[in-house]
Amino acid sequence: MILREKRNIVYKNENLFGLYYKLVYICKEVYGVCAALGASTNIISISYLLIMETKNKMTAEQSLKLINETIENNRRVITKKNGSYYILWGILLSVISLVIFFLWDKTGSAAWNLLWFSMPIIGHPLALLLDRGEEKVPGSFLSRLTAWIWGIFGVFSLSLALIAFFWVPMNLSLVIILLFGFAECISGITLKSWPVIVSGLIIGLGGAVLAAGVLATSASQILLFTLAGVVLILTGVLIKIQK
């Protein structure tokens, strides 16, 4: 009633005050419409978000499947990265052992075995270069464990070589090839890779028997390490192509 009266007053008076009240009334009406629109927009937005959240929710089976697949894919990526290192060190082992064999065989001097110390000097910078070239893979317990296994093998081999050269002569090839096979088996177990485990057994045990027997005093025993290098390359390739 009062509003109608006010409206009547506004329409009746055409002066500035009337215009002012007219404008205020229109603004209030417009504001009311906007407020109503705003509320409905909020309701629509919230409903949309709820629908999207519901769509993204999964069943229990789907969740477990996602977890398993993601973890398995991750493990595979890390394992494949290890394949590159097997190939690198396999090539290095094969090349250096062949060089030592030829020089030892030609000159008759076992001192050429000192060239083994060049392996870590050449290998580590190449491994760093390889790291830069490939897709960056995050570190994990698995990759650290594999690195430590081969690191310990390197330390044992180097220490035994120094002991044999300066203190207690021993059949180094027998000991080192056995250690090599052991390290490769353990790596295979951690990487869950049967080719790596089997090749470790063959090289380690087979090589030890040959090094202790027919090849004990000959330069040909170095060829055991060439074979070990070839097996490393093959297992590296197998790991990389494994699906």
Partner 1 sequence: MFKKLDPLLHSELRLAVMSILVGVDDADFVYIKNKTGATAGNLSVQLDKLSEANYITVKKGYKGKKPCTTCAVTDVGIKAFEEYVEALRDYIARPDKE
Residues in contact with partner 1 by the rule CB under 8 A: 53, 56-58, 60-61, 63-64, 66-67, 70-71, 73-75, 77-78, 136-141
Smallest separation (angstroms) from partner 1 to the CB of 70: 4
C-alpha distance from residue 92 to each of 85, 87, 115, 237 (Å): 11, 9, 12, 15
> Closest approach of Cβ 107 to partner 1, in Å?
48
Q: Smallest gap, in angstroms, from Cβ of residue 139 to partner 1?
A: 4
- b or e along 219-232 (b: 16 or more beta carbons within 10 Å of the residue's beta carbon)? bebbbbbbbbbbbb
Q: Which residue, 74 or 171, has its beta carbon nearer to partner 1?
A: 74
- Choice between 73 and 218, CB closer to partner 1: 73
Cα(223)–Cα(225) distance, integer angstroms: 5
Which is nearer to partner 1, 30 or 58 (by Cβ)?
58
CB of residue 81 to partner 1, shortest distance in Å: 12
- What is the distance between the alpha carbons of residues 243 and 241, in angstroms, rounded to a whole number? 6
Structure tokens at 200: 């470790």
Provide, rounded to whole angstroms, the least separation between the CB of residue 66 and partner 1.
6
Nearer to partner 1, 35 or 58 (CB): 58
Ramachandran sector of residue 93 (left: φ over 0; alpha: ψ -120 to 50; beta: rest): alpha
Measured distance CA(104)–CA(218) in Å, rounded: 9
Nearer to partner 1, 5 or 135 (CB): 135
CB 85 to partner 1: min, Å: 18
Distances, alpha carbon 69 to alpha carbons 73, 240, 242, in Å? 6, 19, 16
Nearest to 221 by CA among 110, 101, 88, 133: 101
Closer of 41 and 70 to partner 1 (Cβ): 70
CB 119 within 8 A of CB 93: yes
Query: C-beta of 239: minimal distance to partner 1 in Å?
Result: 18
Nearer to partner 1, 137 or 237 (CB): 137
Identify which of 138, 179, 142, 174 has the alpha carbon closest to the alpha carbon of residue 157: 179
